[in-house]
A and B are shown apart, each in its own frame.
Chain A
Amino acid sequence: MSLGLYWNRVLTMGPNGRFPKVEMYFLPVMCQECSNPPCVQVCPTGASQQMPDGIVLIDKAKCIGCELCVKACPYGSRTLNPETKVVEKCTTCVQLRESGSDPACVINCPGRCRFFGDTSDPNSTVSVAIKKAGAENVHSLPDSGNHPSVKYILHPKNGVWRKP
């Protein structure tokens, strides 16, 4: 990872309200793995691709660093690496997953708040977590037709869901 690049930013949402009646939560903003990804649509070289499992990856050999995808991404999840001149983003640790492991952020997360899996499989850890949370507590980042696949669980006890 080059310095200054963040594949997995964590935003502090808040504190909202007036001291001492405030609420605050943390929002990790990684690539949202959209099912209709604008970054793939605008890529002139085919470097940005959607894999059969739905994950979006960048073929660095094909990337020409034009940054169209950076502009197209609604979430600011892509950055041009100034050293390699290609665009980078979270890969969901595809290399780890190929050997059956979860992504590094899931493995190491101290809060144990990250889950990774196939939402189309009702028995996957993500599906189970989403179901357990209840639909009213499951949120997504704003969707303008790109359909982000990342879901956020936030119970009202911990904060009011806000647009980042």
Chain B
Amino acid sequence: MERSIISRRDFLKATAITGVGAAVAVGAYEGLKKHKNKTGPSKGRTGTVRTCCRACIANCGVIATVKNGRVVKVQGDPEYPMTRGALCAKGLAGVQALYNPNRNKYPMKRAGARGEGKWMRISWDEALDTVAKKLMETRAKYGAETCFCSTGGGGNPEFWSISRFCNTFDTPNWFEPGCAQCYLPRTLANALMYGGADISIADSNCLEIYFPEVNPVKAYVLWGTDPSQSCPAGGGRAMVELRAKGVKTVVIDPRLTPDAAKADVWLPVRPGTDVALMLAWIKYIIDHKSYDREFVMKWTNLPFLVNTETKMFLRPQDIGAKGDPETTFVVWDKQSNSPKAMAYPWDNNLEPELEGTFPVNGVPCKTGFQMLKERVEPYTLEKAAKICWLDVASIEKALKLYIETQPSAMSLGVATDQTRLSVQAGMAAPTIEMLMGHVEKPGANLQRFKSSGAAPILTYIVNPAKKLLSEKQLNKRLGMLDHKGLLQWWAAHPPTVLQAILTGKPYKPRVWIDRSGNKFAVLGNSSAWLPAIDQMDMIVHMYMYPTSFSAYADILLPAKEWLETDMIVESINKVFVRQAVTHLWETMDETLFWSKLAKRCADMGHENCKKAFDPKVMGDDMVYWDTMEELLDKRVKPALHMSWEELKQKSPVEFCSFEEWDQHYVYKRDDPKTGKPQGFDTPSKKLEIYLESLITLGRTGKPYTTYPLPPASQDYDPLPYYVEPGESPVEGEIGKQFPLVMTNGRLPIFHHGTLRNIPWLREIYPAPEIWINPVSAKKYGVSHGDWVWVESARGKTQARAHLTEGIGPGVVYMERYWNPETLNTPTHGWREMNVNVLSKNDPPFNDVVGTYTLRGYQVRVFKADGPPKGVWLKPEQFKPWLPEQSDPTPEVKV
């Protein structure tokens, strides 16, 4: 039997969401190619498939049940070591996401005016040719830098494939709303200070928490992280088990999260002020001599002398001594009362001072420790309590729990990444852990575990191939020169990209390819991007389903849902797979899409794109792939000595024993090359708490740049510091008009801007709540359940008031939201109830990475007449989004 690969109804539903004119849809439908039906209901496979979720950035193990080729159920995989069989609501929603009737099913091109919502189906060949042609034309006319790409952390399968394509096309510009606002501040600080795993639970680190049986930890600080909501089945579950075992916890979070409710001490810090509290913790630890003195002396760079004029460490040459300038520093020797060069790792003939100011060559020099001590000196508990809206006794109780209950550990979450002091928080939290000596001990979070090497790029497999980006083009990266921390992720700065589009300075970006969810739901001050849309010559949107951003696109491309994708998933000492359980319509894995697009550009004569297919040029950076299997084999074979196909059959594969994986004290191991201890992955091999390399980064771009770069307009500070948020309730005038401090944070049923179209999730949380303390609610005339307006200096939006004692009187909380049900209205679903209409995307930015402010800005709240027009609030309204099961289709061949 021959039949169309979709039913007419499927197609109409696919396009109705963006308001297709019936004539256009029917016209396109008539032109459908007939395909042989290879997978009738009776012929599809039946059974279970072991795979891994990707509804968020975790990769929880899943067992999918398939009946006649259709996925009918998912549940947790008991063998997955980080979840032990648990699976959260986002993962369980996988079937509804996969078979959502509004999936993007085929490539489509705009058939009406931009934003009008008329679409026509096209082939993948036509889509790729159209996009490649536009890219090539724009490059020839205006330069490759005027084409840019964007992505987002909403469960995308291969984060680095966007960066790789941009390097290949020789454009320096890609960005994501996360990056400087999510995780980069912590990865950057951690990489420069230490070089091993960071202390983020939600980014699949802090791996010892998953083994309460052997983890000796007795107290745990969750700072700006709520694993119960950001990764319920993984980190959330692990924290439950640790608490059940008797581990004491401190939670530092403005709102009463489930973790905060279970904490021994809850510190509801004022959003945006965390660094003041961190500096007070450091001062308290120093003042009470609670730090691990032996460890700080021998394994951190704090005893080394800093020239107070240059802020750089003295090197042996500065005192006429010899030694490797990377690993030999100058200490003040107590015995001789003189500066002495000390080679790595330690010199027992010297007695270095840890504290003090000493004249060297007539210049006052201070130890790194002294510099840190002076920096934190003003931050008494009283001062921190005043800044952070906390009480002294609670801060001290938390500190004592952390200090006196050993071993203890600390995690830092995304909260501080969304503030002006993102990098400073990313430095201060590990500083606390390092002072305490919580490094590579059992129970510590700073660890270097053994890895299979199958997913070597921060758990991903695609190498960004930085070398393909030319020097000339690297220098054109928007917003990078002042915010050189962006170099670690090789990304541009979204507000600078926006300004370039609007002003044409230093040049005007013209073509935008986005592979992510709803940019209007997740970009700070999203309304500011609307005028930019009109300036674009072409916008391409690739995603699993249409979002608000799709309304402004010229080409829509169908991306695979996680149940359709293949990827390597390493978890603890095992390698699992995410494997395609089915394939629907004409969806494509983005990891493949970028490769196909690069191939088109190469065929059209792009020299750099041609290089990306040349094994001689690419070497370890790998040539582009024609199929996913080709790519996966390139990673699996050298690491596990088997093919991807074999790994799929055998998953999970144990690459070493748990004991071998759970290695400690790596820094103490002998390095056979030097005969000395291995040390840490920093230039000095010590923990670099005084972060001189941040100064170097700002001046040169090292260690991340591929070419020399001009210096940033200001040196970065090598130590964490505190300043008030750009909008503050206690400084300046803004607090008078907008008295409440806004924060945001995760719900356990959504990830970033995703899953608002899943009926079983939406009915639980149909509209965003704004948490408001009853005291402030009374003041502003708001009752529980009221519809309210929330307004900032940038705009206003709506939410439902949730009166709760779980938030302080001066603070409100609201999570990101958009409404797929109003995509086809003038709001395009992003204006009604979207906290990012309120958030800030203008200076002051974080100096190092350019973070704008998503938490800790000022708003006001007042009563509204009712809900926004057209939004769905009742469970039965979500019925049109219930799954429509479809038979599998063959993979797209282009």
Contacts and interface: CB of A to CB of B under 8 A. Distances in A.
Contacts of A109: 86
A93 to B, nearest CB: 11
Interface in A13-38: 14-20, 22-26
B76 interface: yes
A22 B774 CA distance: 14
A14 B266 CA distance: 16
A134 to B, nearest CB: 14
B882 to A, nearest CB: 8
Size range of the interface on B? 35 or more
Interface string B862-883: 0000000000001110110010
A25 B262 CA distance: 8
Interface string B234-258: 0011001100000000000000101
B232 interface: yes
B85 interface: yes
Nearest to A3: B875
A48 B330 CA distance: 83
B268 A19 contact: yes
A158 B236 CA distance: 16
Contact of A3 (B75, B87, B261, B879): B879
Contacts, number: 85
Nearest to A23: B261
B809 A110 contact: no
B258 A110 contact: no
B240 A108 contact: no
B237 A110 contact: yes
B192 interface: no
A25 B256 CA distance: 11
A42 B268 CA distance: 50
A18 B774 CA distance: 10
B371 interface: no
Contacts of B236: 110-111
A102 B872 CA distance: 35
B256 A108 contact: no
B805 interface: yes
A112 interface: yes
Nearest to A26: B258
A17 to B, nearest CB: 6
A110 B748 CA distance: 10
B874 A15 contact: no
A72 B394 CA distance: 48
B273 interface: no
B804 interface: yes
Interface string B206-240: 00000000000000000000001000110011001
B235 to A, nearest CB: 10
Contacts of A15: 256, 261, 804-806
A4 interface: yes
Nearest to B394: A20
Nearest to A110: B232
Nearest to B231: A110
B201 to A, nearest CB: 13
A55 B237 CA distance: 29
B258 A113 contact: no
Contact of A111 (B237, B268, B759, B809): B237
A51 interface: no
A101 to B, nearest CB: 9
Contact of B806 (A1, A19, A26, A82): A19
B278 interface: no
A104 B63 CA distance: 13
A26 B875 CA distance: 22
B384 interface: no
Interface string B389-400: 000001000000
Given A3-B875, A3-B878, A15-B261, A110 B807 contact: no
B131 interface: no
B805 A158 contact: no
Interface in B805-819: 805-809
A136 B14 CA distance: 56
A85 to B, nearest CB: 15
A114 to B, nearest CB: 11
A22 B879 CA distance: 38
Contacts of B84: 112
Contacts of A3: 759-760, 763, 875-876, 878-879, 882
Contact of B85 (A16, A107, A158): A107
Nearest to B227: A110
B682 to A, nearest CB: 36
Contacts of A107: 75-76, 85
A14 B236 CA distance: 20
Contacts of A158: 261-262
Given A3-B875, A15-B804, A110 B256 contact: no
Nearest to A4: B875
A138 to B, nearest CB: 16
23 contacts: A3-B759, A3-B879, A3-B882, A4-B874, A15-B805, A17-B805, A19-B773, A19-B806, A19-B809, A20-B268, A22-B806, A24-B806, A108-B75, A108-B85, A108-B233, A109-B86, A110-B87, A110-B88, A111-B228, A111-B232, A112-B84, A112-B237, A158-B262
